[in-house]
Structure 1
């Protein structure tokens, strides 16, 4: 707890300036941790302001996740409201803001935001910056210290382009912003939704940066990490931690000391009406998604729904065949009205389909590997997957014939040939993770955005009822 009476002095006896920075990242709409985060930050901000010390709040992206019903229903606008209420100073965007929202939803996500949205490498297709984004901001403390803040987001160039945006290479854009800030500011802070490897590269190549606040790879630095005189801070994921950076500045505006610490939210005091607030977020989302999507007249099991989805992917993506993991469907559907909330509940993943072009030899290798028992019990985290187990691998559009130990595979009654090319539809998570090396390494990948798997399943269910 800050001591209002303390005197922090330099060698000449002058009082040093203390700057506090609190940071969050990769909340992914885990609102169950938000009430405690809110109370911690509100209390700390009050403390520091009463002590005459500068304090700033930054979020480093992926604050939203469409797997939560309230975020899905509002297309992330509830997340902006929460950041407003908490009086954040600035945020950068993560891939969940950038590539899980349709163009219009992202373009209006920050309508009414009371904070700066700092992202230097995002543009419209015409090369203009979106009206709601700035490449950097300069904050001036009451004692005249100028803090330059730059934001950079992960380089999913192709996916942003499919949604109507233009993303530039992060290091090149960062270099431009550092050059603009050089000589104008006393401290440079980077809000980096790039991941730990890129952050370490930046620390090595950009000694001008004093602090890197990291995200994306969900890494944790309990007491920060010093690299090339740069202090890195990272607060993991899901709001499990809140980061705190303290910087001490002398009267010549030189950084004399900087340190980092994390606060574990589970060890914080229970927030006022915590359970009611958390439940209310969920119930409001559920109510907003209560519109009927389709009506079914019988029970559909999880496995049957996965099969239906796999079959639909072939026609929807105009491919030769499709492969997916049953774990994408979490539960079955009961007969009666199926709401959009129900669809979100059984398929919460922000996962899109992708057409991958492979040779017949590569495809047959995958079909053999799919039979391994490991898939059903393989635990998966990240890559857009919001379930627990990968589940059995299934296919559509492919048949097989066994003759002794020999297995022959066919697509539309034609045997798969080793040197011929085929278009296979898969969940995009299989292209990001190295589950099947040939899919991961494939040179030609065509992603379909912004539709998620649950949207395609809903269309398949509607068509089945009409038929």
Structure 2
């Protein structure tokens, strides 16, 4: 009889363990804040009324107001920042990112991963800034070569409402093509699949119920890890600046991303079975951070004022006027843009070269017509790159342009001193139709001087399919934005146009 009772009790315990034990948790998340510490205006179109309306969103004080509201209303929140808090406004560049660490100390995320722009001021300055952080910073695929250990902690484990949650941080695997190489001294990238596999096994041994990948690798890479690592329950994504207004499901993983610059706060509600270590139900949305509908956080507002008060006089100086708005265009339509043309023209005059090349990613904003301030130029060109000059022969220049029009992965570049026509319908490697340099047909044997910035020169393989490491790169003394600021002062009134210096025959015929 005792054996029967013992067997029944054992069976009952096994049955109870097999039953779902449900608990709720809320993930509050954002990404790619880019030091947008002050509110900014957005405009939406009412198609019915054929009328535009504008309103203020974001700014760290209002963003934190929304975050704290959701924290207070959610029974079990976990707060995650998917990286690229640095870079985008002058205060981040001037303080080498320290401003954003000080503000995140007020926000208090449960974890933040490192984006590529956290490295813009160099790995040593990043280490110094992270020394001030009073919140966890994680990334599993960054290795500190000098100290022979991971650059930051790889994972963070937190507990909410009885749910043990493991968070793995990941930084973009192609970091060396996204950052000036000199900024990565002593940093080595580790293979994502191997480190993720190891950290997942580690978290399983820690008996976590939920595994989150907090990534700054882009949605394409997120899709790959979701397929290769089905143990990932949630991927909180960054890098693309994509607002996913509803979560997407890839394999077993629930993927979310919240746009850029703090316009939206992401909210993902989960029902988790802690017995089965699985998500039973979920719902997610983006909350627009409209300033008119929230009380800003006082402490964050005071910190922003403290950081910016000394800068405003300098940044608000009007240095010129745009008669036409500066518009960057879109990488997917391979053509020139008026702001890209203007900057490339200025670079060419400054360097006195035959050709200038400016990468589209180095121009970070559009600019409306009207007064231009010093701060506007900082927002357009926040990186503080310097110019370098090098020479190539005509055959190499042709191969560089062919690479630009034939390869979809690299960054599109604007030019001056050169005009070219291509046909995107042709086979890759045979798309260039005609090239002129300084008004004359390209000579394959001639030598041409080129000015670009140090980022493009350092990543020439990704941009042009050639390696310039053995080329003589002559550095020029002034930062790019300083050159642009002085040229705006000189011109005073600017009317910029697209002049067809880059032309796709196929696009013209569609």
TM-score bracket, normalised by the shorter chain, equals 0.5 to 0.7
Tell me which residue corresponds to 1:216.
239
Q: 1:170 Cα shift?
A: 2.7
Distance 1:118 1:93 in 2: 7
Distance 1:364 1:12 in 2: 66
Q: Is the 8 A contact 1:357 1:444 kept in 2?
A: no
Q: Is the 8 A contact 1:118 1:135 kept in 2?
A: yes
Distance 1:340-1:101 versus aligned 2 partners, 3 A rule: farther
Q: Is the 8 A contact 2:108 2:134 kept in 1?
A: yes
> Is 1:285 matched up with 2:311?
no
> Is 1:236 matched up with 2:255?
no
CA-based RMSD of the aligned residues comes to 5.1
> Is 1:125 matched up with 2:152?
no
Q: TM-score, normalised by structure 2?
A: 0.63
> Is 1:140 matched up with 2:159?
yes
Q: Is the 8 A contact 2:23 2:161 kept in 1?
A: no
Structure 1 portions without partners, runs of 5+: 1-9, 293-297, 371-381, 397-405, 462-467
Q: Residues 320-354 of structure 1, C-alpha deviation per residue, up to 9 Å, x if partnerless?
A: 864348996979xx9xxxx9868636744565657
Q: Is the 8 A contact 2:233 2:279 kept in 1?
A: no
Q: 1:423 Cα shift?
A: 6.7
Distance 1:222 1:342 in 2: 30
Q: Is the 8 A contact 1:356 1:444 kept in 2?
A: no
2:217 counterpart (194, 198, 206): 194
Distance 1:179-1:280 versus aligned 2 partners, 3 A rule: closer
Tell me which residue corresponds to 1:3.
none
Distance 1:305-1:59 versus aligned 2 partners, 3 A rule: closer
Distance 2:480 2:111 in 1: 32
Distance 1:441-1:309 versus aligned 2 partners, 3 A rule: closer
2:116 counterpart (80, 90, 95): 95
Q: Secondary structure at the match of 1:108?
A: helix
Distance 1:199 1:281 in 2: 33
> Is 1:310 matched up with 2:348?
yes
Distance 2:377 2:242 in 1: 31
Distance 1:190 1:345 in 2: 31
> Is 1:21 matched up with 2:27?
yes
Tell me which residue corresponds to 1:453.
480
Distance 2:448 2:199 in 1: 44
Distance 1:407 1:139 in 2: 59
Q: Is the 8 A contact 1:222 1:260 kept in 2?
A: no
Tell me which residue corresponds to 1:400.
none
Q: Is the 8 A contact 1:231 1:258 kept in 2?
A: no
Distance 1:285-1:36 versus aligned 2 partners, 3 A rule: closer
Distance 2:485 2:30 in 1: 35
> Is 1:149 matched up with 2:167?
yes
Mean Cα deviation higher: 85-94 or 117-126 = 117-126
2:84 counterpart (50, 53, 62): 62
Q: Is the 8 A contact 2:263 2:289 kept in 1?
A: yes
Distance 1:367-1:244 versus aligned 2 partners, 3 A rule: closer
Q: Is the 8 A contact 2:105 2:133 kept in 1?
A: yes
Tell me which residue corresponds to 1:73.
94
Tell me which residue corresponds to 1:110.
130
Q: 1:180 Cα shift?
A: 2.5
Q: Is the 8 A contact 1:64 1:97 kept in 2?
A: yes
> Is 1:45 matched up with 2:59?
no
Q: Secondary structure at the match of 2:293?
A: coil
Tell me which residue corresponds to 1:375.
none
Distance 2:186 2:211 in 1: 27
Q: 1:62 Cα shift?
A: 0.9
Q: Secondary structure at the match of 2:153?
A: coil
Tell me which residue corresponds to 1:464.
none
Q: 1:288 Cα shift?
A: 3.9
Tell me which residue corresponds to 2:285.
262
Mean Cα deviation higher: 170-179 or 226-235 = 170-179
**For 1:240-255, what aligned pairs fall within 5 Å after superposition?**
240-250=263-273, 252=275, 254-255=277-278
Mean Cα deviation higher: 173-182 or 86-95 = 173-182
Distance 2:386 2:278 in 1: 46
Distance 1:407 1:224 in 2: 46
Tell me which residue corresponds to 2:55.
none
Distance 1:408-1:30 versus aligned 2 partners, 3 A rule: closer
Q: Is the 8 A contact 1:223 1:259 kept in 2?
A: no
Q: 1:452 Cα shift?
A: 5.3
